[in-house]
Structure 1
Amino acid sequence: MPAYMVARITVSDPDQYEVYKSLAPIAIQKYGGEYLTRGGAMETLEGPEETQRVVLVKFPDFETARAFYDSPEYKKARDARSGAAEGQFVILDGYVPE
């Protein structure tokens, strides 16, 4: 069953964040991940206005998404993000109709 990683990110140093943005896709690709959205235009339709950068990545399954997050490749990207942005990262099981 696919799994999805949702990231909500507040960027404080855009120049340093560009380094993270160059490293993260390498790790995502290695673990079979696929960006479904990576920032871009958004509109809050209900509730408090979303002001953070929102990223959605699809992985083959929950275990692979977790392995990606804990991988040495992504640690390098996370280290580059340190001090440039703070975020919330959540892994969710995908929905498979019965």
Structure 2
Amino acid sequence: MTAYLIADVDVTNPAVFEEYKREVPATEARYGGKYLGRGGLTKILEGDWQPHRLVIIEFPDMASLMAWYESPEYAPLKAIRETCARTRIIALEGTAAVPS
């Protein structure tokens, strides 16, 4: 079942974050990840949430998502991100397709 990584990223050092942003897509792709949204315009429809830079990445399943997140390829990039951004990240399992 498809899984989604959803991140709200508050970039505190844009120059360093550029390195992270440039390098991370190749690591995600190795685990089947693809961007559905990455830093685009957001519009608050309800509530008091004030997101910063939102990112949504789709993976084939939760196991692939977690394998990427815990991978040796991503570890050094995660360390870079932690120096230049405050991030909230969740993993969300998708729903099975409903037959029509």
**TM-score higher than 0.5:** yes
Task: Name the SS for the 2:83 alignment partner.
Answer: coil
**5+ residue gaps, structure 2:** none
1:16 maps to 16
Matches within 5 A, 1:70-89: 70-89=70-89
CA RMSD of the aligned region, Å?
1.1
Matches within 5 A, 1:1-98: 1-98=1-98
Q: Shift in Å at residue 31 of structure 1?
A: 0.5
Deviations 1:26-84 (A, max 9, x none): 11111100000001111001111423111000000001100100001111211221220
**AA partner of residue 38 (structure 1):** R
- Alignment check: 8 A CA contact 1:26 1:73 kept: no
| Rounded Cα–Cα distance in structure 2 between residues aligned with 1:82 and 1:4 | 21
Task: Name the SS for the 1:43 alignment partner.
Answer: coil
Q: TM-score, normalised by structure 2?
A: 0.92
Identity across matched positions, percent: 37
**AA partner of residue 84 (structure 1):** C
**5+ residue gaps, structure 1:** none
Task: Name the SS for the 1:73 alignment partner.
Answer: coil
Aligned length: 98
**AA partner of residue 88 (structure 2):** Q
- Alignment check: 8 A CA contact 2:8 2:51 kept: no
